[in-house]
Structure 1
Amino acid sequence: MAFPIPHLISSPASSFLPYNPLLNLTPLSLNPKIPFSTPTPPHINVLRHIRRRKATSHLRCSASSYPENNNANSPNQDDVTELPLFPLPLVLFPGAILPLQIFEFRYRVMMHTLLHTDLRFGVIYTDAVTGTAEVGCVGEVIKHERLVDDRFFLICKGQERFRVKKVVRTKPYLVASVAWLEDRPSPSADVDVDGLANEVETYMKDVIRLSNRLGGKAEKEVGDLRRNLFPTPFSFFVGSTFEGAPREQQALLELEDTAARLAREKETLKNTLNYLSAASAVKDVFPSSSSPSSPS
């Protein structure tokens, strides 16, 4: 499928600019000079995402309200329903917070409709190279502000994942028939999913620690990142921190096995840690060298 990308207010590229959830799209802050597919892993800006997570933690669900398996109110995997779609050059994960500013006419029309219905729409990744993905995530509007010129400031929260089955219409905005996705039990009974999640958390803490060091910040103990989350929602949280690598995020979103998702995230974080360790060693030998986040 090839859908047009809607016009968005651009986000500041610098990771040093203050984050304003009402004015900016979720920033993409990986180093654009180091493609994700290259042998050298990118510098994943986990630290910045963690700071934003704390800033918006009051909008997130608690672990008790986000069980490992869908509850009785969650849509059935066999259900097919119509959902308005919002193609974006980013990936939304269940549980993640997405700030948006909407000013294009067709999406303002969509917002007027949503504000009188259930405030839910599908966020689906698209780019000029790969086209539009078939798997996306529902974004539920949890806070909004309508301006006098009919623009909207939104804060959305990721909910269920879905797969597009059929495009129902394209005007005035996209509407598709979708089926719901949820993770299936791992095919291997020997996999310790909870232990794998703990390993991923350890790697994340090490990445944050080294990122702080390379950024010239004082090293300090990184707190609890899992916050009692079950492995599945934790794997979605980890994927949401891989900012600036949307194709990898899309691959993680499409996986229907929590253990496989965590294993892939562990490998990515391990490669990133190796990269940061090497960069840190270079910085110790050549203190005037540029950091990996801003190579010359």
Structure 2
Amino acid sequence: MTDRIALFPLSAVLFPGVVLPLHLFEERYLRMLADLRAGPEPHRFGVVALELGRETAGFGVPGVPGEPGGPGVPAEPLASDGLSGLGGAGEPPAPLRLAEIGCVADLQEVVPLPEDRYDVVSVGGRRFRLKELDRSGPYLCGDVEYLPEETGAAGADLVRRVRRLFHLYRHRLAAAGADVGDPAELPDDPVALSYLVAAATVLDPADKQRLLAAEDAAHRLRAERDLLLRETRLLDALPTVPAGQFLDASAHPN
């Protein structure tokens, strides 16, 4: 069974349980926010990572998976529909490709700002598989199939191993000059642990997307074990890392 939800393409991966701040100002996303708040609770939308394109790109995507522009498939550039990001005068429209697996964002807080702008805070909810896109309205919508959250064969040894490696990774980051903030409180639950580690580790978006798409917590934790070993070795080989927040809580502008 599928569900129709509004979609917010983002150049980042949202994980269940993770806070997502957004700064909204584009007309289409203001319309999406108004429609969400006017509807029944819970107010939620889907976040899908951009595999190609940028957050301000227009809806250069047709609505059927497996066709150009469908989930995981390159988009054919379409004629400009008046939305931003489709290129300037004489420039071709920007292609857009969305990830197949996304995450629901549950709207928690809306703060109105001057000039018809809003800061909103959402929290990652259920994962979904994007089955079909609908670009007929003012913003993207999609038919999604929610995915189960399975633990898999995530035994106590694997959980302890990932916890130790994550603490070591944070220590190496701090020693290299990164601001890692306060020590993270790691949950014992394998599913929750797998998502916290995935969100808090500095990784390429493609690596994060693979972690989100893992079939269960055991597969995700094993992948994180290998990634943490790799990243810790890289940190050991580097004298410093760029300064910045370990967990970037800055708002994503649309």
Q: Distance in 1 between matches of 2:233 and 2:126?
A: 34
> Which residue of structure 2 aligns with residue 230 of structure 1?
189
Deviation at 1:185, TM superposition (A): 5.4
Alignment partner of 1:115: what SS?
helix
Deviation at 1:183, TM superposition (A): 3.1
Deviation at 1:141, TM superposition (A): 1.1
Alignment partner of 1:173: what SS?
coil
> Which residue of structure 2 aligns with residue 212 of structure 1?
174
CA contact (8 A) 1:193 1:258 kept: no
Relative to 1, partners in 2 of residues 1:90 and 1:193: Cα closer, same or farther, differing over 3 Å?
same
Q: What letter corresponds to residue 199 of structure 2 in structure 1?
A: S
| Structure 2 counterparts to residues 190-269 of structure 1, below 5 A | 191-215=153-177, 223=183, 225-226=185-186, 228-243=187-202, 245-269=204-228
Say whether 1:168 aligns with 2:134.
yes
With normalisation by structure 2, the TM-score equals: 0.71
> Which residue of structure 2 aligns with residue 278 of structure 1?
237
CA contact (8 A) 2:154 2:217 kept: no
Q: What letter corresponds to residue 109 of structure 2 in structure 1?
A: K
Q: What letter corresponds to residue 225 of structure 1 in structure 2?
A: E
CA contact (8 A) 2:151 2:190 kept: no
Q: What letter corresponds to residue 81 of structure 1 in structure 2?
A: D
Alignment partner of 2:149: what SS?
coil
With normalisation by structure 1, the TM-score equals: 0.62
> Which residue of structure 1 aligns with residue 19 of structure 2?
97
> Which residue of structure 1 aligns with residue 57 of structure 2?
none
Relative to 1, partners in 2 of residues 1:177 and 1:126: Cα closer, same or farther, differing over 3 Å?
same
Moved more, 258-267 or 130-139: 130-139
Q: Distance in 1 between matches of 2:228 and 2:202?
A: 13
Deviation at 1:262, TM superposition (A): 0.3
Which is strand-richer, 1 or 2? 2
Query: What stretches of structure 1 of length at least 5 have no aligned partner?
Result: 1-78, 284-290
**4+ aligned runs moved over 6 Å, structure 1:** none
Q: Distance in 2 between matches of 1:216 and 1:242?
A: 12
CA contact (8 A) 1:135 1:161 kept: yes
Q: Distance in 1 between matches of 2:144 and 2:189?
A: 26
Deviation at 1:172, TM superposition (A): 0.3
CA-to-partner distance for each residue in 1:66-107, whole Å, 9 max, x for gaps?
A: xxxxxxxxxxxxx31110000111100000001100101001
The two structures, once aligned, show a CA RMSD in angstroms of 2.2
Alignment partner of 1:179: what SS?
strand
Alignment partner of 2:38: what SS?
coil
CA-to-partner distance for each residue in 1:36-65, whole Å, 9 max, x for gaps?
A: xxxxxxxxxxxxxxxxxxxxxxxxxxxxxx
Alignment partner of 2:15: what SS?
coil
Q: Distance in 1 between matches of 2:155 and 2:35?
A: 41
Relative to 1, partners in 2 of residues 1:143 and 1:243: Cα closer, same or farther, differing over 3 Å?
farther
| Structure 2 counterparts to residues 36-115 of structure 1, below 5 A | 79-115=1-37
Moved more, 200-209 or 163-172: 163-172
Deviation at 1:292, TM superposition (A): 3.8
Alignment partner of 1:210: what SS?
helix
Q: Distance in 1 between matches of 2:26 and 2:191?
A: 35
CA-to-partner distance for each residue in 1:232-262, whole Å, 9 max, x for gaps?
A: 1110111112345111111111111211100
CA contact (8 A) 1:103 1:152 kept: yes
Q: What letter corresponds to residue 234 of structure 1 in structure 2?
A: L
Alignment partner of 1:237: what SS?
helix
Deviation at 1:193, TM superposition (A): 2.8
Moved more, 237-246 or 108-117: 237-246
CA-to-partner distance for each residue in 1:205-234, whole Å, 9 max, x for gaps?
A: 1111122222189xxxx85631x3410111
